[in-house]
Amino acid sequence: MKQLLLLRHAEAEPARPGLSDFDRTLTPQGHAQAQAAARRLRQFGVHLDALLASPAARARQTAVIVAAQLHLDAVLLYEPALYLGAAATVLQPLQHCSAAARAVLVVGHNPALSELARELAGNPPGDEHRFVLATGDLCRIEFEADSWSTLAPAAVRAVTMAR
């Protein structure tokens, strides 16, 4: 069984003139949300084999806080494809994960993360809002597959939201 964990970056400062979207950093509430996400991951009892994050400041900061709180040995990689891409784009960096990796955390953005969670859950009718990740929300997707490149709805065994 493999686990893909999707974490939407924690709360960031609002957009303002002179500050690019890419450079928006976490608010104090965002720091607290990232720490709470690390606690939820610890409660899951997951040992992360890889941590992939968008290179945007708010995602980088979220990933660093989570890694520090969990005392991770896993390598933290910044993947440009995770910045404001589509759901399918989120899956691209997973192609490089070792088949031996059992749990991977992806820290990214909406709408891509929510769209991916919904797609992997099989787009349940009437459940469109269940898989919307707010800032700091976590989604755990458990699936049966030999490699990360074969992740598809048919392989998914469970999709769990943690808020």
Q: Is 0.85 surpassed by the pTM of this model?
A: yes
**Residue 128 pLDDT > 80:** no
Residues 58 and 83: their CA atoms lie apart, in Å, by: 11
Q: What is the predicted pLDDT for the residue at 55?
A: 98
pLDDT in tens, 77-120: 999 999 988 998 999 999 889 999 999 999 999 999 999 999 99
Taking the domain 2-162, which CATH number applies?
Answer: 3.40.50.1240
Taking all residues of the chain, what is their mean pLDDT, rounded to a whole number?
Answer: 92
The first and second tokens of residue 163, run together, are 């808020």
Strands (E), the chain: 2-8, 50-53, 76-78, 103-108, 138-143, 156-162
Q: What is the mean pLDDT of residues 42-60?
A: 94
User: Can you say how many angstroms the Cα of residue 6 is from the centroid of all Cα atoms in its chain?
Assistant: 3
**Residue whose entry in the numeric block shows the structure tokens 């440009």:** 80
Domain ranges in the chain?
A: 2-162
State the pLDDT confidence band at 154, using cuts at 50, 70 and 90: confident
The first and second tokens of residue 44, run together, are 């899951």
pLDDT in tens, 131-151: 899 999 999 999 998 889 888
